[in-house]
Amino acid sequence: MRSILVFLMLTISTFASLQAQAEQVNIYSFRQPFLIDPILKEFTAQTGIETKVIFSKKGLIQRLQREGELSPADIVLTSDFSKMLQLKEKGLSQPYALSKTLEANIPAQFRDSENHWLALTQRVRNVYSSKERSGDLSNIRYEDLANAEYKGRICTRSGKHPYNLGLIASMIAHHGEAETEEWLTAVKGNLARKPQGNDRGQVKAIKEGLCDISLGNSYYLGKMLQDPKQIEWANAVNLNFPNQQDRGSHINVSGAIMAKYAPHKESAQKLIEFLASKQAQSLYAELNMEYPVMPTAKVSDLVSSWGTFKADPLPLEEVAKYQKQALKLVDKVHFDL
Q: Answer yes or no: do 100 and 48 share one domain.
A: yes
Amino acid 29: pLDDT: 96
Who contacts 130 (Cβ-Cβ below 8 Å, separation ≥6)? 206, 212, 213, 236, 237, 238
DSSP conformational letter for 290: P
Q: Which amino acid is at 196?
A: Q
Q: Answer yes or no: do 207 and 273 share one domain.
A: no
Who contacts 271 (Cβ-Cβ below 8 Å, separation ≥6)? 25, 27, 43, 49, 51, 74, 75, 256
**Whole-structure pTM value:** 0.85
Q: Answer yes or no: do 98 and 244 share one domain.
A: no
Q: Answer yes or no: do 325 and 219 share one domain.
A: yes
Kindly compute the dihedral angle of the four CA atoms of residues 232, 235, 236, 242, in this order, to the nearest 10 degrees: 140
305 is a domain residue: no
Distance between CA atoms of residues 143 and 199, nearest Å? 20
Distance between CA atoms of residues 108 and 167, nearest Å? 20
Q: Answer yes or no: do 107 and 32 share one domain.
A: yes
Q: Which helix (H) or strand (E) holds 201?
A: helix 199-207
Q: Which amino acid is at 327?
A: L
* Number of domains observed in the structure of the chain: 2
Q: Answer yes or no: do 51 and 162 share one domain.
A: no
- Which candidate, 114, 140, 116, places its Cα nearest to that of 126? 140
306 is a domain residue: no
Amino acid 284: pLDDT: 86
Q: Answer yes or no: do 87 and 232 share one domain.
A: no
Q: Answer yes or no: do 179 and 319 share one domain.
A: yes
The 10 Å Cβ neighbour count of residue 66 is 9
Distance between CA atoms of residues 273 and 266, nearest Å? 11
Between the alpha carbon of residue 104 and those of residues 37, 47, 51, 280, the distances in Å are 25, 21, 26, 15
pLDDT tens, residue order, the chain (337 aa): 444 433 334 433 443 344 444 589 999 999 999 889 999 999 999 999 999 999 998 999 999 999 999 999 999 999 888 899 999 999 999 999 999 999 999 999 999 999 999 999 998 999 999 999 999 999 999 999 999 999 999 999 999 999 999 999 999 999 999 999 999 999 999 999 999 999 999 999 999 999 999 999 999 999 999 999 999 999 999 999 999 999 999 999 999 999 999 999 999 999 999 999 999 999 888 888 889 999 899 888 999 999 889 999 999 889 989 999 999 999 999 999 8
Domain that holds residue 199: 123-250+315-332
Q: Answer yes or no: do 324 and 269 share one domain.
A: no
Amino acid 147: pLDDT: 98
Q: Answer yes or no: do 49 and 192 share one domain.
A: no
Question: Which value, in Å, is the radius of gyration of the alpha carbons in the chain?
Answer: 22
CATH number for the domain that contains residue 218: 3.40.190.10
Q: Which helix (H) or strand (E) holds 298?
A: none
The 10 Å Cβ neighbour count of residue 322 is 23
Q: Answer yes or no: do 234 and 326 share one domain.
A: yes
What SS3 class is residue 296?
coil
CA atoms within 13 A on the CB side of 36: 22
Distance between CA atoms of residues 156 and 151, nearest Å? 14
280 is a domain residue: yes
Distance between CA atoms of residues 1 and 319, nearest Å? 68
Q: Which amino acid is at 246?
A: D
206 is a domain residue: yes
Q: Answer yes or no: do 135 and 231 share one domain.
A: yes
Amino acid 22: pLDDT: 52
